[in-house]
Structure 1
Amino acid sequence: MSSESGPQRPSSHPLSEFPASLRGKRILLCTESFGPVNGVSRTTLMLVNHLRANGANVAVVAPDNHTRTNTFIPKQPSTASESLPDNVGRQSLDVRIQGYPLPYNPELSIVYPVRLSTLYRRTFETKPDLIYLASPASLGFQVMLQLRQQPLENQVPIICNFQTDLAGYCNILFPPPFSNLAVLAFSHVQTFLFNHFSVKTLFYPSRFIRRYLEEQRVQRDKLEILQRGVDTELFHPRRHSETLRQRLAPNNEIILICVSRLGGEKGFEFLAEVAKNLDARGLNFKLHIVGGNRNVAVETEIKDSFSSLVDKGKVEFAGFLVGEELATAYASADIFLHCSITETFGLVVLESMASAVPVVARDEGGPSDTVYDGKTGFLTPPGNLDAFVDKVTLLAEDAALRRKFRENARSQAEEWTWEKINNQVAWRMADTIAQSERERAESAVGAKLAQQEETPEDGSGDAGGSLVMAPSPLFGWLTMSDAVKARASDVRILGGMAAISASWVAVGAYLVFINAGIWVKKTFRGVFLR
Structure 2
Amino acid sequence: MDQNFPQDLKGRKILLATESLGPINGVSRTTGSLIQYLRDNGAQVAVVAPKFAGPTTVTNARNDPEVRLDGYPLPYNPDLTVAYPLRLDTIYSKSFHPDLIYLASPASVGFQLLLQIRQMGSPPPVMLNFQTDLSAYSEIIFPKPMDQYAVWLLALVQGFLFSHSAVHTIFYPSGMVREYLEKAGAPMSKTFHLGRGVDTALFRPEARDMNFRKTIAPHGEIILLCVGRIAPEKGFGFLAEVVQRLDAAGSHFKMVITGGNQNPAVEEDVQKLFKSVEHRVVFTGFRKGAALACVYASADLFLHCSITETFGLVVLEAMASGLPVVARDQGGPSEIVVDEKSGHLIRPDDVRNFVAKTQRLIQSSELRRQMSQTARSIALNTTWQKINNKVALKISEALAAAEAAKKNRPIRNWIAARLRSIIIAIRINMAIGLTYFMWGIAVLPLLIHGSSRFPDRFVAAMLPNLQPIGNSLSHTLRTVGL
Same fold (TM over 0.5): yes
C-alpha displacement of 1:131: 0.5
1:498 aligns with 2:437: yes
- In structure 2, the residue matched to 1:394 is 360
Please point out which of 432, 443, 446 is paired with 1:507: 446
Preserved CA contact (<8 Å) 1:16 1:423 = no
C-alpha displacement of 1:308: 2.5
Please point out which of 96, 107, 124 is paired with 1:137: 107
- In structure 1, the residue matched to 2:68 is 96
1:182 aligns with 2:150: yes
Once the two structures are superposed, the pairs formed by residues 239-388 of structure 1 within 5 Å of their partners are 239-310=207-278, 312=279, 314-388=280-354
Check 1:119–1:271 CA distance in 2 against 1; reply closer, same or farther (3 A cut).
Answer: same
- Provide the C-alpha distance between the structure 1 equivalents of 2:167 and 2:196, rounded to a whole number of angstroms: 22
For the aligned residues, what is the CA RMSD?
2.3
C-alpha displacement of 1:73: 2.3
How many residue pairs are counted as aligned between the two chains? 450
Once the two structures are superposed, the pairs formed by residues 225-244 of structure 1 within 5 Å of their partners are 225-244=193-212
- In structure 1, the residue matched to 2:382 is 416
Check 1:486–1:192 CA distance in 2 against 1; reply closer, same or farther (3 A cut).
Answer: farther
- Provide the C-alpha distance between the structure 2 equivalents of 1:56 and 1:175, rounded to a whole number of angstroms: 45
- In structure 2, the residue matched to 1:405 is 371
- Provide the C-alpha distance between the structure 2 equivalents of 1:130 and 1:352, rounded to a whole number of angstroms: 34
Residues 160-206 of structure 1: CA deviation (Å, up to 9, x unaligned): 00000011101000111000000000010001100011111100000
Q: In structure 1, give the amino acid aligned to 2:340.
A: G
1:447 aligns with 2:417: no
Please point out which of 63, 87, 96 is paired with 1:115: 87
- Provide the C-alpha distance between the structure 2 equivalents of 1:239 and 1:484, rounded to a whole number of angstroms: 60
Residues 248-278 of structure 1: CA deviation (Å, up to 9, x unaligned): 1111111000001100100111111110010
Please state whether the residue corresponding to 2:369 is helix, strand or coil.
helix
Residues 18-66 of structure 1: CA deviation (Å, up to 9, x unaligned): 1111110110010111025111111100110111001110011111133
C-alpha displacement of 1:156: 1.4
Q: In structure 2, give the amino acid aligned to 1:71.
A: V
1:23 aligns with 2:10: yes
Preserved CA contact (<8 Å) 1:395 1:402 = yes
Check 1:42–1:489 CA distance in 2 against 1; reply closer, same or farther (3 A cut).
Answer: closer
- Provide the C-alpha distance between the structure 2 equivalents of 1:518 and 1:388, rounded to a whole number of angstroms: 39
C-alpha displacement of 1:306: 1.1
1:203 aligns with 2:167: no
1:151 aligns with 2:115: no
Q: In structure 2, give the amino acid aligned to 1:505.
A: L
Check 1:486–1:223 CA distance in 2 against 1; reply closer, same or farther (3 A cut).
Answer: same
Q: In structure 1, give the amino acid aligned to 2:438.
A: A
C-alpha displacement of 1:151: 1.6
Preserved CA contact (<8 Å) 1:30 1:60 = yes
Residues 208-229 of structure 1: CA deviation (Å, up to 9, x unaligned): 1001001111111110000000
1:63 aligns with 2:2: no
Preserved CA contact (<8 Å) 2:21 2:52 = no
C-alpha displacement of 1:16: 6.4
Check 1:198–1:265 CA distance in 2 against 1; reply closer, same or farther (3 A cut).
Answer: same
Preserved CA contact (<8 Å) 1:32 1:137 = yes
Please state whether the residue corresponding to 1:108 is helix, strand or coil.
strand
Preserved CA contact (<8 Å) 2:85 2:432 = no
Preserved CA contact (<8 Å) 2:104 2:130 = yes
Preserved CA contact (<8 Å) 2:319 2:372 = yes
- In structure 1, the residue matched to 2:399 is 433
Preserved CA contact (<8 Å) 1:19 1:427 = yes
Check 1:162–1:210 CA distance in 2 against 1; reply closer, same or farther (3 A cut).
Answer: same
- Which structure 2 residue ranges, 5 or more long, are not aligned? 414-418, 459-482
Please state whether the residue corresponding to 1:231 is helix, strand or coil.
coil
Preserved CA contact (<8 Å) 1:57 1:91 = no
- Provide the C-alpha distance between the structure 2 equivalents of 1:484 and 1:134, rounded to a whole number of angstroms: 29
Preserved CA contact (<8 Å) 2:120 2:424 = no
- Provide the C-alpha distance between the structure 2 equivalents of 1:105 and 1:66, rounded to a whole number of angstroms: 14
Please state whether the residue corresponding to 2:223 is helix, strand or coil.
strand
Q: In structure 2, give the amino acid aligned to 1:267.
A: G
Please point out which of 205, 208, 218 is paired with 2:186: 218
- In structure 2, the residue matched to 1:469 is none
- Provide the C-alpha distance between the structure 1 equivalents of 2:63 and 2:425, rounded to a whole number of angstroms: 37
- Provide the C-alpha distance between the structure 2 equivalents of 1:147 and 1:370, rounded to a whole number of angstroms: 35
- Provide the C-alpha distance between the structure 2 equivalents of 1:69 and 1:409, rounded to a whole number of angstroms: 29
Please state whether the residue corresponding to 1:92 is helix, strand or coil.
coil
